[in-house]
């Protein structure tokens, strides 16, 4: 499954099951992940690539701004691993 497809699936789930504020909080970070890795297979992403993406995304930001971004990405990967039975390693710990 491509990253862009996994993001559509994930947002579809959250539109039904989550509060608007939750979706609003996740959207910018996960959308940028989609833009960065759009056509890549989700199984092909390494933890180092994800960490590099997050470092680049939060460069110049204060720790309070950086802090929520990591769990958003982790949540995305955990959701796809648990619901789509993907053979993913957990990219962030």
Residue 25 located in a structural domain: yes
pLDDT score for 50:
92
Q: What is the pLDDT along the chain (93 residues), one digit of tens a residue?
A: 899 999 998 999 899 998 999 899 999 999 999 999 988 998 899 999 998 999 898 888 788 777 888 899 998 999 888 886 444 455 554
Residue 25: which domain range? 3-84
pTM (two decimals)? 0.77
Residue 9 lies in a domain: yes
Does some domain include residue 46? yes
Our count of domains for the chain comes to 1
Establish if 63 belongs to a structural domain: yes
Would 91 be classed as within a structural domain? no
42-48: which pairs have CB atoms within 8 A and are 24 or more residues apart? 42/1, 42/2, 42/3, 42/6, 42/80, 42/86, 42/88, 43/1, 43/86, 43/87, 43/88, 45/3, 45/91, 46/91, 47/89, 47/91, 47/92
């Amino acid at each position: 499954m491509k990253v862009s497809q996994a993001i559509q699936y994930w947002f579809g789930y959250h539109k039904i099951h989550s509060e608007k504020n939750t979706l609003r909080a996740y959207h910018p970070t996960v959308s940028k992940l989609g833009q960065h890795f759009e056509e890549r297979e989700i199984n092909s992403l390494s933890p180092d690539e994800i960490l590099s993406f997050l470092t680049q995304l939060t460069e110049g930001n204060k720790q309070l701004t950086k802090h929520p971004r990591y769990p958003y990405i982790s949540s995305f990967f955990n959701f796809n691993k648990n619901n789509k039975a993907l053979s993913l390693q957990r990219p962030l710990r």
